[in-house]
Amino acid sequence: MTRFPLRQSNRLLFAGPVSTRRRFLTSTAAGLAAGLGSLPSWKAALRAQQRGSRRHEKLLVTDIEVHNIMVPYEDWIHDTLDHFYGPSRRTIYIVRTNSELVGLGESNQPESDSVLNKYIGSSPWDWIGDETSLGLGTAMYDLMGKAAGIPVYKLFGQRYRRWVPVGSWTVSADPTHVAEAVQQYARRGYTWLKYHLSPFENVIDQLQAMQNIAPRGFRVMFDLTMGGTNDHTYELLEKMSEFPITGAFEDPLFERDIEGYIELRRRVRVPIVLHHAPLGHSFEIFRRAADACILGHSRIGNTIRRAGLMAGANLPFMLQNVGGQITRSMTTHMQSAFKTASFQFHCDAETWKADVVKERPDPVNGFLRVSEAPGLGLTLDEEELERLKNLKLPERAKWIIKTEFVNGTKMYNIADPQASIFMVRPDFRKLIPMSYNSPLQTEWWDDDGTPEYRAMFERIEHEGIVLVKG
């Protein structure tokens, strides 16, 4: 622990309305105004500040504890995620004040000393609309809510929904795994699942396996990671759309292809979701390039502005902030308070076997109830925090991806958890064109200590990719 002491169509599946192009054009001016100002959010926070100041005069941050933890994955998904990413690491912030109030935050890696020192000696109210750190900003909002005696969502204005839609997550693996993911998450109350497609697996085979086991109404969002294959995108999406379980397509095209997105949205019957937006979800929204948008790890102030912009355009969106229950709680509060944040958000806390807070709610029919307790509504589990700080998980070594095509050809690649993007974008190495619908099956070949494994591993390192004719 580091301490910092005091120093000075199916489109209707979305939970909110989707405007027509005509309605959108007439709302553009309103969207600009909302995006630039987002005045209700600021006014709500300022009113809460007045209330909090009466309850806790001159509230100051005196100390920030930085705890680095390791978190094991749920047993059923551990092997799959461990192959992709290795052990899961998180940073937990415990922010103490000159009162009894304590704020909680988290991030995927520690903030620098220079960033942490900006918060020491400040008032939590100085961080309304924080654009410095999402993790520490979360802790500040937790403190503000506790100081004012109100739940965090009230710091952003009115509540638009008491129940917030939430999705689940996995990674692309063999059809048996993705079918199990649908089954596991459906049992826990989820109705949506998301994962990145990978050309090492056949998506139609995956879809068929999931469709065979999915309860009625369960949907999957497929992240195409902006292409990278030799597929004809429209034909592929049309084929995938034939399955009732297909719920949405995320980033099916290169991020700058706005005209392509407009045409794809016109032709494809399943909603198109835009995550990577080089113009900051502005021009993309004005052109109506997608049915919904994703704000990924957006800092609080930027989220407030973008939420206003999307409200003016009547465009559904969701926040994708990866983390544990602290992150999930903050995201739930924010989605509750933003008018069109009606698309199911993703956090990945459902993949964790443990956490540092005692509250670990599962959704009901795909929705999480927003807490009415002051702040985030979370209780720190100090014993579990200490355990996870001291937990040592083995590092996942590189391993071989063994792929066999229906004609008997075998392909061998090396997978590295430190560069997991290779599993979804092998084209980055410019080795061989691939498809999401290739007739193939893939196995994971871990180091078994045999001369055969070592010889193949060294050959791949030398050649980049190994193809053996069947």
Residue whose C-alpha is closest to residue 41's, from 159, 160, 156: 156
Instruction: Please tell me whether residues 164 and 228 are part of one structural domain.
Output: yes
Instruction: Please tell me whether residues 407 and 287 are part of one structural domain.
Output: no
Instruction: Please tell me whether residues 75 and 135 are part of one structural domain.
Output: yes
Instruction: Please tell me whether residues 366 and 463 are part of one structural domain.
Output: no
Instruction: Please tell me whether residues 160 and 197 are part of one structural domain.
Output: yes
**108-164 pLDDT per residue, tens:** 999 999 999 999 999 999 999 999 999 999 999 999 999 999 999 999 998 999 999
Residue whose C-alpha is closest to residue 343's, from 309, 310, 302, 376: 310
Query: Which residues neighbour 20 within 8 Å (Cβ) at sequence distance 6 or greater?
Result: none
Instruction: Please tell me whether residues 49 and 128 are part of one structural domain.
Output: yes
Domain end residue (candidates: 372, 395, 418)? 395
Q: Is the Cβ–Cβ distance between 294 and 271 less than 8 Å?
A: no
Determine the Cα angle at 279 with ends 276 and 280, to 5°.
Answer: 65
Beta bridge partners of residue 64, listed in sequence order: 4, 95
Q: Which residues form the domain of 433?
A: 399-468
Instruction: Please tell me whether residues 283 and 263 are part of one structural domain.
Output: yes
Instruction: Please tell me whether residues 354 and 405 are part of one structural domain.
Output: no
What is the model's pTM? 0.89
Instruction: Please tell me whether residues 348 and 427 are part of one structural domain.
Output: no
pLDDT value of residue 470? 83
Q: b/e string for 267-287 if b means 16 or more Cβ within 10 A?
A: ebebbbbbbebeeebeebbbe
Instruction: Please tell me whether residues 171 and 311 are part of one structural domain.
Output: yes
How far is it, in rounded angstroms, from Cα 285 to Cα 350?
A: 31
pLDDT value of residue 420? 85
Domain end residue (candidates: 360, 395, 430)? 395
The number of distinct structural domains making up the chain is: 2
Domain end residue (candidates: 333, 367, 395)? 395
Instruction: Please tell me whether residues 389 and 420 are part of one structural domain.
Output: no
Instruction: Please tell me whether residues 425 and 376 are part of one structural domain.
Output: no
Determine whether 457 is exposed, middle or buried from the number of CB atoms within 10 Å of its CB (0-12, 13-18, 19+).
middle
pLDDT value of residue 1? 57
Q: In what order do the strands lie in the sheet with 219-223?
A: 168-169, 192-196, 219-223, 246-250, 272-274, 292-296, 317-320
Q: Is the Cβ–Cβ distance between 94 and 107 less than 8 Å?
A: no
Residues of the chain with pLDDT under 50: 2-37
Q: Residue written as tokens 């991030």?
A: 107
Q: Output the domain CATH number for residue 127.
A: 3.20.20.120
Q: Residue written as tokens 């109830």?
A: 369
